[in-house]
Chain A
Amino acid sequence: MKPAPFAYLRPQGLQHALEALAADPGAKVLAGGQSLVPLLSMRLAAPSTLVDINALPGLDRVWADDDGVHVGALARHADVLASPDVRRVQPLVSQALSQVAHATIRNRGTTVGSIVHADAAAEMPMVITLLGGSVTVASTAGERTIPAEELYAGPLESTLRHDEVAVHATFPALAPGEGVGFAEVARRHGDYALVGVGAVVRIDGDDVVSARAGYLSVSDVPTVVDLTETWGDHDAAAHRALSALDPADDIHATAAYRAHLVRVLTARVLAAAYDDARTRASAGRDRDDG
């Protein structure tokens, strides 16, 4: 299948890109193309102009600072996955990214593109929401930062305006006492998950002071559930999670099976995050002692 006709621009500077977007309400940003190009080819999308941002300078950086991990709009999933900074500062990003698609797609697809594409079956929108991160966007009117909890409006719909380019995303660093876990069930390796769950658990000594889980593929927008109060009670945790979620039937799985996976994976991931928090805490103590 071949796309419908479109104009193609490959601006060399951000300002040009922003002007091009502002000039044509039918224009769309092209990043890694791993979601957009299939939509074009199947003629499910027919933008009048494609503004290819791949030539924009300086957007491919991945860096860490006190705030956490920052990922530029042209950093590929593979770059982020390979970054030791990311793994150290916010390991949930690396864990979840290893489940995103396949190597060839991770080599082209961008993490920021995935975040703004707003697919509730995709890992990164859930991760940035669970971690309380943000996305910085630019337009001819200037820059603004959108907190993750305000980023998603509906299925495949972000709150970016059509003339905005996301320039980078920020994932907060893992805080002391925190541990993370991630698990998903997909039909084939690298497929979008039938259900995926990420968790952040914070401990203080032996006590769990916070437990939060984020869910993939069981809601219209990435959904985070606070499970602190149900800690230690699998049934109660699953019940609470499911009351916030809306598992649906499709050709790959029934709603009942998805709900079951929510139960199973919530328990697995909370346990993994708790273990991770304990391990980090004791490693931290060892470091402090030594």
Chain B
Amino acid sequence: MTTKMFGEPVQRVEDQRFLRGQGHYADDLLVGQQVLQAAVLRSPHAHARIVDIDVSEVLDVEGVHLVWTYDDLTGPMAPTMGEPLPLLIPHPQLTHGRTQYALAKDEVNYVGEAIAFVVADDRYLAEDAVGRIRVTYDFLPPVVGIPAARAAEHLVHDDVPGNVAARLEQANGDARAAIAAAPHTLSLDLEVERSASTPLEGRGTVARWDPDTARLTVWTSTQTSTGVRAAVAAKLGMDLGQVEVVTPDVGGGFGVKINHPWPEELLVPLAARTLRRPVKFIEDRREHFVSAAHERGQVHHVEVGYDDDGRVLGLDVQFWHDNGAYTPYGIVLPIITSTQLLGPYKPGAYRVVFESLYTNTVMCTPYRGAGRPQGCFVMERTMDAIAAALGKDRLEVRSANFIQPDEFPYDHGLIFQDGRQLEYDSGDYPASLAKLRELIGWDEFPAFREEMAREGRRVGIGLACYVEGTGVGPYEGAHVHIETSGKVKIATGLTTQGQGHATAFAQIAADALGVPFESVEVVTGDTRRMPYAVGTFASRAAVMSGSAIHLAALRAREKVLRIAAEALEAAEDDLEIVDGVISVKGTPGGTASIDLGTVAVLSNPLRYAFDEASKAATQFTVGDPGKPPVAEDDEPGLEGKDFYSPDRSTFANGMHAVIVETDPDTAEITILKYAVVHDCGRLINPMIVEGQILGGIAQGVGGALYERMAYDESGQLVNASFMDFLMPYVTEIPAHIDIDHLETPSPLNPLGIKGAGEAGVIPSAAVFASAISDAEGFAITAMPISPSELFGLRRTHASAEPVETKERS
């Protein structure tokens, strides 16, 4: 295999389009084609029974085409629309899974839950109409926040005792006994608040019904077009073959768009079929805050026993996960926290138990990092606490707990989110830490701290390490088609939300086939081109589709060589493909050569010539008249198709360090230096990987220092706008971030790659908590943290007895 493109920082082919405003998003589709627009009446109350819905003032309004409430969905039009939406990932321990209806039946369980659906000539009219619908509610007491959910004085769902959707315990060894026997113990209470993916493009769905062919085309801003297709077909009572789902450009997903089908993803196609007109739903920003999904809210209690070196002998973690009002995505998030919490460490014994709790708030589904930021926060705060208690350097305590390079594959004795054994494939944590120590200037920091102190300035340094299971199954596939022009068309079914797949995947294909990068074109997320796929989440696209594309391209290559060998009267083994030309090895461009396009022509026996080149494949020109034109075990055309389905996830890892300054007067927190050591196996495109890391850090800074979902006691989200939900601006992100890579290949896939999409965001809460604690001399136990909160903590700690628990660097 040539490795010309793999590993090169090729500029993203997508960016010309995106940066020039030529992206084509859901709202850009079918413009000028008399598309009707939908709007949704959403519950203004967190918990209420619906007594009556009066739509009479809407029905006759000029320009309004349709108004639906739950009762309209139960007829023969779509036999299963009246059932709750699918519970996508069932789990035996999810004993009380609940999902919402496409439109609320009888009860609403969060502010934002869809109650009625209106289609009108335009969105203005649709919103006017929504404003005229009268709903009578019977109020129920809302359950907001983990403490209220645990107290269970009130229930979110009448039939879910204790508000507990799921309880899951896993253990490796006897952690309690190990803690009891340990020379030192600590206990910690740690909390992480809610945040959300908040992609700049919200949800959006467009559907067109073709009455002549009885077929539906749905464009939706999703992370899984195949998932939406299956759901739409099932819910609308159609054959899969009648529904195609195409993913246009997607303005960010970050996890929230993997949940499906959203109510609107079903209602829009249903309305298009009913009205025989194209229908569009484009979510607005407030709707996204209150009716998409959130994540991260968890409360944790840690008991740990350790020895004089800081080695963890026993770790016992209990935590409570706020899953919001429903559980369509199962209990993937708390499972990830409970397993990925372990990071690069190997505690002597481990037990973890969690409860997933209902609250009357927006449901929680994966947001970049998906349960890992919380796990990392818990483990890293614990490591820092051990270091502080022993008066040891924080790096030393981590080193004492690392899984060593010669211990891979390392089996934690637990079950991961994909139902498979939690077994790390590869990594070199001591080497990563050594790089990070250098990159951030860990050893020089004490001198820097003193220098700053002389100027009256206060600084702190922190670090955090994580391991991330990436590339979960079950599978992805790819189809490679070499056209008679010599151009290569690749289709893979998972979707793209701006990650640069068209570039990275083309690099893989170009190498496998020996063609110029420029002649490869990649299509993603279009069920017409690749109907078998899972989706883009869990840092899996490069690993899964990347591997599948590699395998499919190799299949196409085999066929190329077979046909070329016949044409050139050479042995296949003697041939190579360079720049799209097949020739005998070592004689590139020699007389005995044939280009890919010609091979493609020869691969497809023709009756009709349509141009000069195709004459070569017609019946009086090629083939042995004594044999069928297409051999029994062959197919026409130059294609390759293959699937990649790994035994288990591959585990990437990384370590971040930060130096912060905290203003002694105003408690403002400023980032002075940020460093990253990252290991995602072999890098397909370092520029793309670094972009992913930087973007992840930007979101991580948001999650650590700015963003939160501010619910009041009645369950109103009081900051449902970008004015009050403080997504960081570019001015809040460090202008420079030092990144270094380690490339420990994964043994699990043919390219040795691991996922990189989520990594940047995982250690943020942990690394900032570590650095702020170091600056302030007291431990930060809840994230995010604002200057106002830091000010409050300073007061609390100043008035408490000065039992200094200052962590040393």
Question: Residues of A with Cβ closer than 8 Å to B?
Answer: 1-5, 38, 42-43, 102, 185, 187-191, 194, 251-254, 256-257, 260-261, 264-265
Residues of chain B in range 225-266 having any CB-CB distance to chain A below 8 Å:
none
**Is the pair B710, A251 in contact by a Cβ cutoff of 8 Å?**
yes
Nearest CB in chain A to that of B284: its residue:
A1
The answer to whether A252 and B731 touch (CB under 8 A), given A187-B706, A257-B791, is no
With an 8 A cutoff between CB atoms, is B726 at the interface? yes
Q: Contact check, B286 vs A1: say whether CB atoms are below 8 A apart.
A: yes
Q: List 30 A-B contacts (CB under 8 A).
A: A1-B285, A2-B123, A2-B127, A5-B128, A42-B721, A43-B127, A43-B131, A185-B666, A185-B668, A185-B787, A187-B726, A188-B726, A188-B728, A188-B731, A188-B732, A189-B732, A190-B731, A251-B710, A251-B718, A252-B726, A252-B786, A253-B786, A253-B788, A254-B788, A254-B792, A256-B791, A256-B795, A257-B667, A257-B788, A257-B792
CB of A260 within 8 A of CB of B127, answer: no
Complex: A191 Cα to B791 Cα, angstroms: 20
B786→A188 contact, CB < 8 A:
no
Top 6 A-B pairs, shortest CB-CB distance: A189-B731, A253-B788, A257-B788, A251-B710, A2-B124, A264-B665
On whether the beta carbons of B666 and A261 are closer than 8 Å, the reply is yes
Contact of A264 among B666, B710, B729, B788 (CB under 8 A): B666
Residues in A whose Cβ lies below 8 Å from that of B123:
2
8 further interface pairs, Cβ-Cβ under 8 Å (given A188-B726, A190-B729, A254-B792)? A1-B127, A3-B124, A42-B721, A43-B131, A187-B787, A189-B729, A251-B719, A256-B792
Contact bitstring B302-338, A, C-beta under 8 A = 1, else 0: 0000000000000000000000000000000000000
Decide yes or no whether B724 CB sits under 8 A from chain A.
yes
Distance from A235 Cβ to chain B, minimum over Cβ atoms (Å): 14
B interface, CB within 8 angstroms of A: 123-124, 127-128, 131, 284-286, 665-668, 706, 708, 710, 718-719, 721, 723-724, 726, 728-729, 731-732, 786-788, 791-792, 795
The count of A-to-B residue pairs whose CB atoms sit within 8 angstroms is: 67
CA distance A241 to B150 in the complex (A): 44
Contact of B788 among A5, A190, A194 (CB under 8 A): A194
User: In the complex, which residues of chain B have a beta carbon less than 8 angstroms from the beta carbon of A257?
Assistant: 667, 787-788, 791-792
**Pairwise interchain contact B127-A188, C-beta atoms closer than 8 A:** no
Residue of A nearest to B664 (CB): A264
Q: Which single residue of chain B is at the shortest CB-CB distance from A102?
A: B729
B644–chain A nearest beta-carbon distance, Å: 43
- Among A38, A43, A188, the residue within 8 A (CB) of B729 is A188
Task: Determine which of A3, A188, A260 lies in contact with B706 in the assembled complex, contact meaning CB atoms within 8 Å.
Answer: A188
How long is the Cα–Cα vector from A171 to B787 in the complex, in angstroms? 34
Q: Which residues of A contact B729 (CB under 8 A)?
A: 102, 188-190
In the complex, chain A residues whose CB is within 8 Å of the CB of B668: 185
> How far is B708's CA from A38's CA once the two chains are assembled, in angstroms?
22
- Interface on chain A toward B: helix, strand, loop, or mixed SS? loop
**Which residues of A have CB within 8 Å of B128?**
4-5
Q: How far is the CB of A16 from chain B (nearest CB, A)?
A: 27
Contacts of B721 in A (CB 8 A): 42
**Which residues of chain A come closer than 8 Å to B731, judged between CB atoms?**
188-190
Q: How far is the CA of A4 from the CA of B124 in the complex (A)?
A: 7
CA distance A280 to B131 in the complex (A): 59
Nearest opposing residue in chain A for B665, CB measure: A264
Task: Indicate if the CB atoms of A42 and B791 lie closer than 8 Å.
Answer: no
Cα-based distance from A264 to B786 in the complex (angstroms) = 17
Question: How many angstroms between the C-alpha atoms of A189 and B286 in the bound complex?
Answer: 23
Known: A188-B726, A194-B788, A257-B788. A5 touches B732 (CB 8 A): no
Residues of B within 8 A of A189 (CB): 729, 731-732
CB-defined contacts of A3 to chain B, threshold 8 Å: 124
Q: Which residues of A are found within 8 Å of B792, using beta-carbon distances? A: 254, 256-257
Q: How far is the CA of A254 from the CA of B667 in the complex (A)?
A: 13
A251 & B665 in contact (Cβ 8 Å cutoff): no
- Complex CA distance for A185 and B668, rounded to whole angstroms: 8
Q: How far does the alpha carbon of A185 sit from the alpha carbon of B669 in the complex, in Å?
A: 11
One of B286, B666, B719, B726 near A42 (C-beta < 8 A):
B286
Contact A260 B286 (CB under 8 A): no
In the complex, what residues of B have CB within 8 A of residue A187's CB? 706, 726, 786-787
From A263, which residue of chain B is reached at the shortest CB distance? B665
CA distance A191 to B726 in the complex (A): 9
Chain B residues whose C-beta falls within 8 Å of the C-beta of A265 in the assembled complex: 666
- Across-interface contacts of A260 in B (CB, < 8 A): 791
A143 to chain B, nearest CB (A): 35
CB-based nearest B residue for A189? B731
Q: Which residues of B contact A253 (CB under 8 A)?
A: 786-788
- Bound CA span A258–B791, Å: 10
User: How far does the Cβ of B237 sit from chain A's closest Cβ, in whole Å?
Assistant: 33
CB distance from B787 to the nearest CB of A (A): 7
CA gap between A2 and B127 in the complex, in Å: 7
Query: A42 to chain B: which residues have CB within 8 Å?
Result: 286, 721
List the B residue with the shortest CB-CB distance to A264. Answer: B665
Q: Which residue of A lies closest to B727 (CB)?
A: A188
Residues of B within 8 A of A2 (CB): 123-124, 127
| Distance between B167 CB and nearest chain A CB, rounded to angstroms | 32
Chain B residues within an 8 Å CB radius of A188: 706, 726, 728-729, 731-732
Residue of B nearest to A249 (CB): B788
Please tell me which one of the listed residues A38, A251, A261 contacts residue B724 in the complex, with CB atoms under 8 A apart: A251
Q: Which residue of A lies closest to B286 (CB)?
A: A1
A254 to B618, CA, bound (A): 81
Docked pose: A38 CA to B706 CA in angstroms = 22
Chain A residue with Cβ nearest B728: A188
Question: How far apart are the CA atoms of A256 and B285 in the complex, in Å?
Answer: 32
